[in-house]
Structure 1
Amino acid sequence: MSDKMTLSHGRLKTRFTALGPYFREGLSAPERYFFDSLSVCVDAEKDPDTREFWGWWFELTPIEHGFNYRYGFGLYDHKGDWVSESIPQEARDAVDKTLTNFYTKLYTLLNEELELSLSPSGTLTEPELAGTA
């Protein structure tokens, strides 16, 4: 469908918001869409304003007929910044599960519903994510 290729920034934001709690509208613009997941709290006993989380961030960059992606893992610190860091083994399964769930939803939206490509960026340093059938 021709209208699928001409989705506006506003329409894309609406579609990305519907994927769940991952889309960060305030960190997104027409040239880059940002998603993340605060998957595992490092220390739930800390004051909520100082808690840190293990998780991932994910960026989409528009290209002709689709998007390139790159992502990373790390610590979402008490200042609200992502710090690239190895995820401890006890948190790894939960972090991986949230990324897999998100990627499956994103792939379905872009590839199957909107007929847009989803490809790894040339700057991707993590393993390429597998599409769904």
Structure 2
Amino acid sequence: MTLNAHPKSKLMKNFALLGPYLREDQCRNDHFFFDCLAICINVKLSAEKRQFWGWWVELKPKEGGFTYIYQLGLYSKSKGWQAEKIKTLEVQDKLETTLRTFHQRLNDMIVAMELTLEPAQDHSDHGIKLLA
């Protein structure tokens, strides 16, 4: 699905301006993927064996805008993203802070394009309020 006057190439270019979050190789015509490796768990391991706490966001176009789903979890090169319950308050706070910051910038960009951003109907918010 394309959004009137917003072809995928234009959206990809705009989303890339948000920083290192866009994963172009995981984006499709009807799906945009962003993630953040916020906290390295084991820095002493070689790069390919390290694990990270972080989050990922998936956007899907809908009439007049996008819906989003986000997850918090653990990333490793061998397994990819795995949704995990965060048990450490400090880790939870860091993930929530980086996710909220990203989400606000994403929302501002989408609103500037005269589009909307809202949670998908089947999205569980994990207790993190992203939009006021």
TM-score by length of 2: 0.90
1:121 matched residue in structure 2: 120
Moved more, 49-58 or 89-98: 89-98
Query: Which runs of 5 or more structure 2 residues have no equivalent in the other structure?
Result: none
Q: Offset at 1:80? A: 4.9
The correspondence of residues 47-58 of structure 1 with structure 2, limited to 5 A, is 47-58=46-57
Q: Which amino acid aligns with 1:131?
A: L
Q: Offset at 1:128? A: 6.5
Q: Which amino acid aligns with 1:100?
A: R
Deviation per CA, 1:59-105, whole angstroms, max 9, x where unpaired?
Answer: 00000000000110100023151001012313112111110110010
1:14 matched residue in structure 2: 13
1:107 matched residue in structure 2: 107
Structure 1 residue matching 2:59: 3-state secondary structure: strand
Query: Which runs of 5 or more structure 1 residues have no equivalent in the other structure?
Result: none
What is the aligned-residue identity percentage? 34
Alpha carbons of 1:48 and 1:121: their partners in 2 closer, same or farther (altered >3 Å)?
A: same
Higher helix share: 1
Q: Offset at 1:5? A: 3.7
Q: Offset at 1:130? A: 3.3
1:120 and 1:128 in contact (8 A); partners too:
no
Structure 2 residue matching 1:6: 3-state secondary structure: coil
Q: Which amino acid aligns with 1:105?
A: R
Structure 2 residue matching 1:107: 3-state secondary structure: helix
Provide the rounded CA distance (Å) in 1 between the counterparts of 2:97 and 2:26. 23
Q: Which amino acid aligns with 2:97?
A: K
Moved more, 98-107 or 75-84: 75-84
Q: Which amino acid aligns with 2:28?
A: A
1:23 matched residue in structure 2: 22
Structure 2 residue matching 1:130: 3-state secondary structure: coil
1:78 matched residue in structure 2: 77
